[in-house]
Copies of this chain bind each other. A is one copy, B any other.
Amino acid sequence: MSVLPPALESVIETLGVLPGVGSRTAERYAYYLLKADPASAGRLADALAKLHSEVGYCQKTFALVPKGQAISDLYVNPSRDKTIVAVVAEPFDILALEKTGHFRGTYHVLGGLVSPVDGISPDQLHIAELIKRLDEDKVKEVILATNASVEGESTALYIQQQIGKRKVKISRLARGLPVGVDLEYADQITLSRALEGRTLL
């Protein structure tokens, strides 16, 4: 005999698919929504129902755009420099870089990273489209803004090979000590990268 009403069980079960959400967390979320103003669960339901039908991908940069919009606002914006392209793995990486307020170029979303373990090969990523952009937009610099992981590094290497002998500057994000972190607490790999990449004063 079930202790909880089926409608509540199904909320708990469907919330349980979210990353890092176990049954206890899902129960907590569901009970919170049940005790809260009904409009709160309603708003979430409406927002979720529209998620897939109203979000699309930019055909040029593969950033997230409102469905029906072909090209992302960041790309068409005349104040953004199309000759500098930051290559990122996922659309949310754009958000992180935009928050810095220090980048005036455009983006290119790969849609993942090369990962033989997860069965992701380079041809599943938007690398061919990036190479096409190099010529179309007369790109001067490609910034490889992938994670400092094995997948991030090998994807960056692959893209570097694909760009080949084109007259394009290729850079990548600096590796080093995060701001605010004490030297004694930094891990060895970060510290050796910080040494390698030391800058002259």
- Residue from B3, B19, B74, B95 in contact with A29 in the complex, judged by beta carbons closer than 8 Å: B19
Q: Are A19 and B8 in contact (CB under 8 A)?
A: no
Q: Are B1 and A74 in contact (CB under 8 A)?
A: yes
Interface status of A48 (Cβ within 8 A of chain B): yes
Q: Are B17 and A65 in contact (CB under 8 A)?
A: no
Q: Are A11 and B47 in contact (CB under 8 A)?
A: yes
Q: Can you list 29 residue pairs at the A/B interface with Cβ under 8 Å?
A: A2-B73, A3-B94, A3-B98, A5-B54, A5-B55, A5-B65, A5-B67, A7-B47, A7-B50, A7-B67, A10-B43, A11-B51, A13-B47, A14-B43, A17-B44, A18-B32, A19-B28, A19-B29, A19-B32, A30-B51, A33-B48, A34-B51, A34-B52, A41-B51, A41-B52, A44-B48, A45-B46, A48-B48, A49-B49
Indicate how many identical chains form the complex: 2
| Chain A at the B interface: SS class | helix
Interfacial residues of chain A within 173-196, with CB under 8 A of chain B in the complex = none
A166 to chain B, nearest CB (A): 29
Size bracket, chain A contacts = 35 or more
C-alpha gap A13/B11 in the complex (Å):
19
C-alpha gap A57/B44 in the complex (Å):
23
Q: Are A66 and B7 in contact (CB under 8 A)?
A: yes
Q: Are A4 and B95 in contact (CB under 8 A)?
A: yes
C-alpha gap A98/B92 in the complex (Å):
42
Residues of B within 8 A of A77 (CB): 1
A181 to chain B, nearest CB (A): 19
Interface status of A129 (Cβ within 8 A of chain B): no
C-alpha gap A45/B46 in the complex (Å):
7
Residues of B within 8 A of A36 (CB): 17
- Known: A1-B77, A7-B66, A55-B8. Is A42-B49 also a contact (CB below 8 A)? yes
